[in-house]
Structure 1
Amino acid sequence: MKSMNISLPESMRTYVEEQVASGGYSTASEYFRELVRTDQKRKDNERLESLLLEGLQSGTATPITDEDWQDIRQAVRKEVAKRQGSI
């Protein structure tokens, strides 16, 4: 794990120290890692919501056919084979 130094105003530093002292976190690093994880999850959720809205706004759904499923399976098999280096 690599280190990263950050500068904080005194009020923020005090706040972080209070969070650690309150027993929620064992170190300031653990507190910051949790903040980053929370931000990553938030951004992932925003991206998912955007994709879902895009799908909903993309037009009327059409039934999927047996031919569509065959095409999907063929594309997946081709991608798997490519990743396994056999093509």
Structure 2
Amino acid sequence: MAMVKKSITVTDQQEQWMQAQLASGNYASDSELLRDLIRKEQQRNAEVEAIRLKLIEAEQSGFSSRTPAEIISDVIKRKQSNGEI
């Protein structure tokens, strides 16, 4: 994987937070910390996009004639059959 060198500017408050992260031993360098933050944001964005697509799909599927209690019951049954609960 090729690496690109970047120069960034952060606020004093951000620098203090970054130094606290380094002092805690969670990260060995500023670069490692920033790469981890970027990876986490990329993952969060992918999760948000997946949820957005599911919501669009649900909206396009129309309204359900089932009651809320029926929906909850079906979800519980599905989770039980999948071993989730």
Q: Same fold (TM over 0.5)?
A: yes
Matching residue's letter, 2:16: T
Cα separation, 1, equivalents of 2:58 and 2:38: 30
Matching residue's letter, 2:61: G
Report the alpha carbon displacement of residue 23 of structure 1 after superposing the two structures with TM: 0.3
2:12 is aligned to 10
Q: TM-score, normalised by structure 2?
A: 0.64
Q: TM-score, normalised by structure 1?
A: 0.63
1:54 is aligned to 56
Number of residues paired by the alignment?
A: 60
Cα separation, 1, equivalents of 2:60 and 2:11: 47
Cα separation, 2, equivalents of 1:24 and 1:47: 29
Report the alpha carbon displacement of residue 4 of structure 1 after superposing the two structures with TM: 0.9
Q: Does 1:33 align with 2:16?
A: no
Matching residue's letter, 1:51: L
Matching residue's letter, 2:34: F
Q: Which runs of 4+ in 1 moved over 4 A?
A: none
Unpaired segments of 5 or more residues in structure 2?
A: 63-85
RMSD: 1.2
The sequence identity of aligned pairs, in percent, is: 27
Unpaired segments of 5 or more residues in structure 1?
A: 61-87
